Amino acid sequence: MTITNNKAAQRQEPDNPYALIGSSQLMKQVYRLISKVLHSEANILLTGETGTGKELVARAIHEYGHRRTQPFVVQNCASLPDGLLESELFGYKKGAFTGADRNHLGMFDAAHNGILFLDEIGDLPLILQAKLLRVLQEQEIRPLGDTQYHKINVRVIAATHRNLEEMVALGEFRSDLYYRLAHFPIELPPLREREGDIKKLAYSFLREIAMRERRGEMRLSAAAEKALQNYDFPGNVRELKSMIERAILLADDTDTIECHHFPNIQGVISPESSPVHGGMLKELVDHYERQVLIESLKKHHGNQKNTAIALGVARRTLLYKLSKHNINSRNWRA
């Protein structure tokens, strides 16, 4: 469980309000929906693939909405066994069960007057779905071992990457709970469908992480940018962020991120599979030349003469290429 209690909303950028990055039409539609629910009491259902920013949107609704000075509590419904989840959500009284040696405040009480974010709601077991429905209808809870219900005032934002409508049809999710939660649904689009946002997000993460790593200003080569545009990002924004993070660490001898700094999308940019656009061929050739040089140096334990012979080039040419690619042959000496 995490609880935050923010005092002030952050500054809103016209293009990227609510501290969310992205100004594609699809994200603008999301911002419009957010602005409609900020000051209402409606429960919200956030859907979308993993890593599309559902938790970030829930946090934004808290930070910019009228409950901003009240708690924001997060509970992941998939992370705990059923019994434990129940006592975490509703709390328990001392003596309610073996081991309950003190009163325990549940999430609903912790989120009183604020927002409870229920992540992975599709994983909530049926028995707890019934209990949650009652809480939403009556706005009251009864901790385990208690005889009395008490009133609470909690706005629930639920999120899932699963298809709840399908789960309802299969009898895996209660339809009455679904309709209560889905009063106001907001769907986060997959990153691959957000025109222009990949580049914006990539540069924003590049700036943020390069600064954290004290790397100065960094950039993406045209081919690296293209490779990102062509990639389908099954892990969405989370995946893009971790790819940039890894690329910055891999590119420790240059301030330009190239395609080969994204090892997980190498297939996408291989010469066999990649469409060659302006400027891309040179970068692909450079990339493979660099790999061949390194492999050959490794094989010959950093010996320049033997490497040059093996590659069929004059030693002078080898030296020129090593210096062009910023490769130090000493790194491979035995």
Ligand X SMILES: Nc1ncnc2c1ncn2[C@@H]1O[C@H](COP(=O)(O)OP(=O)(O)OP(=O)(O)O)[C@@H](O)[C@H]1O
Task: Please give the residue ranges that form the binding site for ligand X (CB under 6 A).
Answer: 20-22, 48, 50-56, 119, 159, 161, 237-238, 241
Determine the Cα–Cα distance for residues 307 and 300; give it in Å rounded to an integer.
6
Buried b / exposed e along 15-52 (16+ C-beta atoms within 10 A) = ebbbebbbbbebbeebbebbeebbeeeebbbbbbbebb
User: With respect to ligand X, which residue has the nearer C-beta, 91 or 122?
Assistant: 122
User: With respect to ligand X, which residue has the nearer C-beta, 121 or 251?
Assistant: 121
Least distance CB 235 / ligand X (angstroms): 8
In the chain, the N- to C-terminal Cα span, in Å, equals 51
Least distance CB 154 / ligand X (angstroms): 20
Least distance CB 236 / ligand X (angstroms): 7
User: With respect to ligand X, which residue has the nearer C-beta, 55 or 286?
Assistant: 55
DSSP strand E in 152-275: where? 155-160, 184-187, 219-220, 256-257
User: With respect to ligand X, which residue has the nearer C-beta, 117 or 332?
Assistant: 117
Least distance CB 197 / ligand X (angstroms): 8
Least distance CB 57 / ligand X (angstroms): 7
Least distance CB 134 / ligand X (angstroms): 26
The residue behind tokens 């409870």 is: 116
Q: Is 145 exposed, middle or buried (0-12, 13-18, 19+ CB in 10 A)?
A: middle
Determine the Cα–Cα distance for residues 192 and 233; give it in Å rounded to an integer.
6
Q: What one-letter code names the amino acid at 49?
A: E
User: With respect to ligand X, which residue has the nearer C-beta, 231 or 332?
Assistant: 231
For the chain, the C-alpha Rg in angstroms (whole number) is 26
User: With respect to ligand X, which residue has the nearer C-beta, 22 or 143?
Assistant: 22
